[in-house]
Structure 1
Amino acid sequence: MTTITNTPETLRAAMVDQIKAAGHATTPAVEQALRTVPRHAFVPEATLEDAYADIAVITKRATDGSALSCASVPTIVAMMLDQLQVQPGHRILEIGAGTGYNAALLTHLTGPTGKVTTVDIDPEVTDGARRALDATGNQQVHVITRDGALAAPENAPYDRIIFTVGAWDLPPALWEQLALNGRLVVPLRWRGQTRSVAFNRSDDALVSDSMQLCGFVPMIGQEGERTGTIDPNGLVSLYWDADQTIDPSQLTGVLDQPKETVWSDVLVGPQEPFDGIWLRLTAQDNRVCRLATDHAAIDTDLCTPAIPSRSPALVEDASLAYLAIRKIAAGRHELGAVGHGPHGKDLARRLCDEIEVWNQDREAQPLVRASCARPAGENGQDLNVQLIEKTESRLLARMP
C-alpha cells in the first residue's frame, strides 16, 4: 500500500492554486514568490496543514486572548502584494514585521538589487522574524525594533511602503520617507470599516487607485476610533471616528422604540458581497459608523443587522438606522434598513437610497485623497466630498 503524505511543496502549491482561484496573485512575479517562499518555516508552531491553509496563524496573543501578531491570511497577503506592484530593485519598507514571511516575499520580488526593511514595535516579534529570515536565507532584510509610526529614515527614500498592521491614521513619516511617485498600501480604518488602500504619491498628497476589504491587528498607539454601547445590557455597540459628533448616551434606549423598516427591492445571492454599500457611504454621508451586536440581542429581536459583528449604521442625534437583510427565496436575500428614534425612518430611507445607487454599479469605489494638511481650497463643505479628519492626516473621499 502506498501512503500519500502532504509535503510542504504539495501544500504550498495547493495554497497558491486556491489564491489564484480567488482572483489574487495576478502577476507571474507574485505567483512565483508565493510558490517559492516556505510559509511553514515562518510559523514553526503550526501544523503543515495550518501553515498552508487560507487562515491567519496567530503567533502572539494578549492576556485577554486578542491577537497581537500573526501570519496573515494568504489570500490577503497576495491581494496586497498585487496592490503594491513591486519591481526588481525597489527599496521597500514594511510596517509590522509579523513572522517575517511577508518580508521574505518582498525580498523575492525585489531581487538582489532591491532592499527590504521591516519595522515592528515589539522586540519579541522582531526577534522571531529575524530568526526565521536568517534560517530561510534572507539575511539581507533589515529588521528594526521601533514604533512603526516613525518608519525607518536610515534606509529612505522608499519606492514602496506597505503596512501589515491596521492603521487608523497616516503618520507624517510616510510623506517624509515615501519617494515621489512611490506607492503605499495600508489597511486603513475610517468610519468603522477597514480597507487595504493602494495610494500613489503625488506631490504633497496620496491618491487612491485600489481598495479591498480586509481586517488586521491594529497598530499600537492610534486611538482615534471611539466606541460605546447603546442598550442597558451592553449588547449593541457603536464604533465611530473622533471627528464625528456621535454621542452614545443620546441613543440609550433607542432600540426599545418602535422599528421603522424599509426594504430596497435590491437582491443578493449567498456569495454576492455587499460591503460596497458601506464603502460608498463613507464618501457620501458623515453620519456613517459601525454597529456590532451580540447574538443575545438578535435572539430577542432587539437589534438585527445584516452582519452582527460589523454592519454600517447612520446616526443622527437620538436616532439611528442600520443595514438589514431578509430571506426572500432560496438563495436570494433582500437588503434594507431598520430605523429607531425620531429620525429613524428618514435614516432608513437614506440607507436604502444608497443601496439602490450601489446596485446600479456594484464595483464603483470612492477616490480618497490623503494629505498631512488640509488641501488648499478644499474644506469639506462640498456636498459631493466627505472630509475625514484624523489626528495627523486628512482624507477627502468622493465618488467618481
Structure 2
Amino acid sequence: MNAAVFSVAGFNHRLCPAGLREQLYVEDVDQPALLARLRAAGVAEAMILSTCDRVELWMAEGDVAALDILAEAARLDPASLAGYRFALAEEAALRHVFAVASALESHVIGEPQVLGQVKATHRLARDAGMIGPVLEPVLQAAYQAAKRVRSETAIGERPVSLAAAACQLARDVQGDLSRCGALLLGTGEMGEFLAGQLLAAGLDRVSVIGRTARRAEAVARRLGGHFATLEELPQALPEADIVVACHGEGRYTLSADMVEGALRRRKRRPVFLVDLGVPGDIEPAVNRLDDAFLYDLEELEQVALQGRARREAEAGAAWAILEAELAAFRRQAAEREAVPALTALRESFEAARLAVLADLPPHDPAREAVDRATRLLANRLLHRPTLALRELAAAGQDQAAIEALLRRLFMDTKDEE
C-alpha cells in the first residue's frame, strides 16, 4: 500500500462537542447515498465511521474537503465546523485507525463496542463498492492488532461505569445471570437504567415495585417484566436474587430484619443488593448479614474508578502491541511494493534460461538434465537478491532506484538504448 493515498478526517470526542457530533451522526440507511457522493467527488475508497464518539471518513485518495459532504448532509455550514475537525495522513492516519479499532482512542479506553462498529461500517462500505486495495489491508491489519490487544492485555476486563460495575458484581455474587431474577424497588430513572443493563447482561426476569401501581406498571412494561405494590414487598423479596433500590422515600424501605427473613426463606441463597437512593433506601445493617452483599453509589463508584485506573495502566502495553503491529504492516506493505521488481527479475532469468535451452537440438538426450540444472541454478542465484530486495524495501529504500539498478545489472535494456 502506498500510505500517501490513505487519510482520515472527521470529528471526534476530543475536538467536537457531543451535540454537534449528534447532528453529524450518519445512520446506516444513509451511508450508501453519502458514499456515492464521495465517489462522485473523486474519493477512490471510503468508509464512514459514525458512533457516539466520532464521525470520521477513512479514505483512499481523499482529503479533509470531503467532510463538506457530511456537513451538507447534516444541513450545517462546512465553514462553521473548521475548528472542530481533524485530518491525518499516511503514518498518523494508520496509527489512528489501529488505535480506534483497539479502543485506545475511545472516550472510555477499552470499551468493547467500537471494533464491532468498525466491522459493521466496513461491511456497509464494501457493499457500496467503496473498499479496495488500500483500505482492505489496512482494516485487516487493524483487526489483527485489536485482537492482540484484547487477548494479550486486560484493557477491557474491568468495569468503568456504575452500571458496568453493578453488572460485574452481580455476576461475581450470582454467577450466570440467566438463572436470576431481579426486584426493582422504585421507579427512578437510574434504577430503571440499571435494571435494563442487567437484562442486557443476561438477567432472566425483573419485577417492579413502586409508590403507585400505575408508575410501577409503566416501568415494568418498558422492561418487559411484572409489577407489584409496596404491600407485596414481603412476598416478592425472597424471590429476588438481585435487588435494586431507588425508592427515594428519605427513609429505609428495606430493613435488615426484612432481608434476614427473605434469606431464611431462600435457604441462605445469596442476595446482591444495590442501593441507589440518596439518602439510602436499604438499612446499612444489611451489610452485616451473611449471604447479603450490599453496595451503595459510593462503593460502585470506587469499583468503577479502580476499573478505569486498571485500563489506563494496561494502555501502555496495548500501545506497545499496536506499534509492533504497525511496524509489521509497514514491512509487509513495503515487501508487496517490491513484488513487481522481483517478478521482472525472475522473468529475466527465466528468459535467459530458456534461451540456453533453445540452443540445444530438440531431441538432445541432455536437454532434460540441462533444464533441471539451469532451473536449480537460476533459483539459487535469485535467492539472495530476492531476500535483499525485500529487506531494502522494508527498510524504506528508494524503490525506483533499486528497480533501475536491477534493470541495469540483469535485464535487457536494448529497448531503452
TM bucket (normalised to shorter chain) is: under 0.3
Q: Which has the larger radius of gyration?
A: 2
Question: Structure 1 length as normaliser, TM-score?
Answer: 0.28
Report 1 or 2 for greater relative contact order, CA contacts < 8 Å, sequence distance ≥ 6.
2
